[in-house]
Structures are given as C-alpha cells and as structure tokens.
C-alpha cells in the first residue's frame, strides 16, 4: 500500500491495478514530453511553454450555488474544496503536480448547472469534477459529465437520481432514504418510540429521507400519525407545531434544509412540543444556519450526520484545527466537510489513476474503502455509492455543538442499494 493510501486510510482494490495505472501514467507523461520537444523543435516556443506549464498542473472542476438563494450551501462547499486543494498543494501537489481549481457558479439553477459543467469540460478541459451543488442541479448536470466520460463525485447531493444510471458519477454522501431509515430505526429500536409526526421538505432530498422513515416505521410496526410537506426555505411552523402538540406523538422527524430545521426547532420549543417529543432532523443540521440561528433552543435534538467533526480521532482533530485556522470559521459545515472528503477521494484517485479522466474514473471505481474526516472507514458499493456510517448526534445547547450518540455502521441500515428500486 502506498504511503498516501495509508495516510488516507485507503485500500486500493488491487495493487496490480495501481501498478498498471502507474505505468500507464508514466508512459503518458513520456509521450507528452516527447510531443512538447517536437513543438519546440518546430519553433512553436510560446505555445509549448504554455503547454509545459499546463502539464505541471492538474485541473479539477467544481460547481455549486455561489450566489442566489442557495449561496450559503455553495460557498461553504467551495471552502471545503479550496482548503483541500491548498492543503494538497502545500504538500507538493499530486505526483509532483499542483492542482488548479476551476470553479463555476450554478446559482442552484438546473440550466446553469448544465451550462457550467459543459463549459468546464469543453473549454477548460477538466478531467474530473467535484460536485459542490444540491441534488436538483446535480441531477441535471450528471448526464453531461457522464456523456463526456468525465468522472464526477457528488459531495453532498443525497438524491438517488444523481448517481443512478450515470456510470461516471460517484457519490460521497449518503442516499437520503438511508438517513430516514437510520433515524427511524434508532427511534423505534433504541428509544422504543411508536408514534411519529413527519415533516417533509417537498423536493428530492426531503422526499427521500421521508421515504426511508416510512419504510422503517412500516417494518417495525410503528405509526406515522401526521405528515406534512413544506416548501424549501419555509420558516413558519406555528400552525403545524400547534397541531402536532395536540397529537402527543413520541417523536417528530423532519427532513429539510437548515433554515427550516432551525425555525421548526425554535418554534417547537417555544410551543413546548419539544423536548416532550424527541426531535430528529436530517443531515442539513450542520449547515451554518443551524449554528447561527438555533440560539438557546434545540437541546437534545438528534441529527443524522454524514460526518462528525467533534470526534477524538487524531485525523479529525488535526483537520478541524487546520481548517478553522485557515478559514477563520468556528465550525466545519456539512458542505465544507463533505467537499473536503470528496476532494481527498478524487486526489487519491488521481494519485493512483493518473491525470486523465479515464484513469481517474477507473481508480475511483476500484476504491473499496476510504477514511472520512471523522476517522471512519467508508466502504464503496458497486453502485459507486458509499456505505457511509451515519453519525447520530445530539445537539448540546450549552456547548453549541453536536455530541455523538452513536455511529450507525450496520450495513443493513446504511446500504444505499435497496433504495434504488424506488427511483426510475
């Protein structure tokens, strides 16, 4: 195993494959060097200097909503990849080459996402993309990358449709349904809750989480007595919480983005729905808006997280210290953390597979496991989806941080594969 693999906790599928791709990359570099020498001989100096400079960098593309209503998500994602790139470049780059980041704003707009992904492939010549956008836009952009045979890793898009059917698209986050399934299992098996109110953000992510909740509740013979959809960005939950209060449910499970989660938690506590009923929320619980908005409320709320920055693993501690120092941020947000890990995954694939799309794609496909920033080994399935352990973590108002309840590693619960049948 190479030193980098050991550092990153990575196990290549086969050492033969690594050696083969390493030879391929070496041959490729020799060929390119020969080509450059030919150009110089032909008197095309300026052009060849540019090419020589290019050959010393690896272009990695990324896109996300850096402006517009979802800018909070995209800018956090960008911080994650920028930090990963700076960190890697400070250590000498990958195989001696510096990484050059090509970043575009999609404004959380499907058409814009398609356009910028096409641009970074056709004009900028990126060989791999780390997707820093939401499910809605990732679903639109995935076929573009796939058709061009450019590997793409979706960092925090949870909808099945992002990866399903696109064999050049990989995911680092969990499938939305898995989160709901894990939450409901924890609530029913470990807390013995029977009755639930479910609040669903009415788009791909929210529907996926709630699908997981519904299947688990059905299997474990519980009962969902109340279910309401809400629009993304909704903050007014007084009427809903008032009604839930009269139902006396054991638990409220909510899937949505952090502004809605934060507002519902505050209102639920004000109306004394919580902590009488246990509040469970989906992974957006570690978006910046939760930390800035929850205030004195929310104590005991349990979130399903795809990583936890407050663990004692040495890798996590080092990362958190360096990240907070470099960015000035107090917390590692959901998007920043997942983008950081996705970037490391891509860097590792470049290290093993070379700088061309085909080699990177093959190396990504050969990745059997990878250590995330919480220090947990994450296995990959043949569907290019991770078997990502879910960190169930409770919000502690006093420290304004999450504390680990448990890492759910049961493969029967975190496996993304069973959920594919629900999506065309």
Q: Give the footprint of other proteins on this chain (CB under 8 A).
A: 67, 69, 71-72, 74-75, 202, 228-231, 233-236, 238-240, 242-243, 246, 259, 262-263, 266-267, 270-272, 288-289, 292-296
Distance from C-alpha of 162 to C-alpha of 146, rounded to nearest angstrom? 11
Which of 268/416 has CB closer to other proteins? 268
Nearest distance from C-beta of residue 381 to other proteins, angstroms? 33
Nearer to other proteins, 76 or 131 (CB): 76
Residue 333 is given by DSSP the state -
Distances from the Cα of 306 to the Cα of 164, 182, 303, 407, angstroms: 20, 12, 10, 10
Q: Which DSSP state fits 256?
A: S
Tokens of 26: 């070496």
Rg (CA), the chain: 22
The least distance separating other proteins from the CB of residue 321, rounded to whole angstroms, comes to 23
Classify strands 11-12 and 367-371 as parallel, antiparallel or unpaired.
antiparallel
| Start-to-end CA span in the chain (Å) | 39
How many other β-carbons are positioned within 10 Å of the β-carbon of residue 112? 20
CB of 78 to other proteins, least distance (A): 11
Q: In whole angstroms, how far apart are CA 119 and each of 55, 79, 126?
A: 20, 22, 9
What minimum distance in Å lies between the beta carbon of 291 and other proteins?
9
CB of 59 to other proteins, least distance (A): 26
Contact 417, 385 (CB under 8 A): yes
Contact by Cβ (8 Å): 32, 52: no
Question: What contacts 266, CB < 8 A, 6 or more positions away?
Answer: 293, 294, 295, 297, 298
For other proteins, give the closer residue by CB, 170 or 230: 230
Quote the least distance from Cβ 60 to other proteins, whole Å: 23
Host H or E run for residue 321: helix 314-327
Distance, CA of 418 to CA of 215 (rounded, Å): 11
Please state, in angstroms and rounded to a whole number, the distance separating the CA atoms of residues 402 and 373. 15
CA distance 342 to 157: 12
Instruction: Taking the CA atoms of 78, 116, 92 and 386 in sequence, report the sign of the dihedral they define.
Output: positive
Q: How far is the CB of 384 from other proteins (least distance, A)?
A: 30
Q: Which is nearer to other proteins, 184 or 294 (CB)?
A: 294
Q: How far is the CB of 346 from other proteins (least distance, A)?
A: 25
Q: Which is nearer to other proteins, 205 or 230 (CB)?
A: 230
Residue with Cβ nearer other proteins (6 or 239): 239
Distance in angstroms (rounded) separating the CA atoms of residues 192 and 187: 6
Coil, strand, or helix at residue 269? helix
174 versus 282: smaller Cβ distance to other proteins: 282
User: Which is nearer to other proteins, 75 or 158 (by Cβ)?
Assistant: 75
Nearer of residues 239 and 321 to other proteins, judged by Cβ: 239
């Amino acid at each position: 195993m190479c030193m980098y693999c050991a550092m990153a906790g990575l196990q290549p599928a086969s050492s033969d494959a690594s050696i083969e791709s390493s030879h391929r990359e070496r041959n490729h570099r020799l060929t390119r060097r020969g080509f450059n020498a030919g150009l110089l001989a032909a008197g095309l100096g300026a052009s060849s200097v540019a090419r020589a400079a290019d050959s010393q960098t690896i272009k990695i593309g990324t896109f996300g909503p850096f402006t517009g209503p979802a800018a909070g998500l995209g800018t956090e994602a960008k911080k994650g990849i920028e930090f990963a790139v700076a960190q890697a470049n400070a250590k000498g780059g990958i195989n001696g080459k510096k990484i050059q980041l090509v970043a575009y704003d999609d404004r959380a707009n499907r058409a814009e996402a398609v356009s910028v992904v096409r641009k970074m492939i056709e004009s900028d010549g990126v060989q791999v993309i780390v997707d820093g956008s939401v499910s809605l836009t990732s679903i639109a952009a995935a076929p573009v990358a796939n058709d061009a045979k450019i590997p793409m890793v979706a960092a925090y898009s949870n909808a099945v449709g992002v990866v399903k059917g696109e064999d050049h698209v990989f995911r680092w986050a969990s499938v939305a349904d898995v989160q709901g399934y894990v939450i409901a299992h924890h609530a029913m098996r470990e807390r013995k809750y029977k009755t639930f109110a479910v609040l669903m953000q009415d788009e791909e992510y929210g529907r996926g989480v709630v699908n997981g909740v519904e299947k688990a509740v059905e299997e474990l013979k519980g009962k969902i007595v109340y279910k309401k959809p809400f629009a993304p960005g909704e903050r007014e939950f007084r009427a809903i919480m008032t009604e839930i209060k009269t139902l006396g449910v054991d638990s409220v499970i909510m899937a949505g983005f952090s502004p809605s989660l934060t507002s519902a938690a505050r209102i639920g506590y004000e109306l004394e729905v919580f902590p009488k009923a246990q509040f469970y929320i989906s992974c957006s619980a570690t978006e910046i808006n939760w930390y800035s908005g929850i205030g004195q409320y929310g104590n005991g709320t349990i979130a399903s997280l795809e990583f936890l920055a407050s663990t004692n693993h040495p890798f996590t501690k080092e990362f958190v210290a360096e990240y907070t120092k470099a960015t000035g941020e107090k917390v590692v947000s959901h998007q920043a953390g997942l983008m950081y890990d996705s970037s490391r995954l891509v860097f590792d694939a470049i290290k093993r597979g070379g700088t061309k799309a085909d080699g990177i794609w093959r190396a990504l496909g050969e990745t059997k496991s990878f250590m995330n920033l919480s220090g947990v080994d994450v296995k990959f399935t043949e569907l290019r989806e991770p078997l990502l352990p879910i960190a169930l973590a409770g919000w502690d108002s006093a420290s304004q941080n999450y504390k680990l309840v448990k890492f759910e590693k049961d493969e029967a619960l975190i496996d993304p594969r069973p959920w594919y049948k629900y999506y065309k």
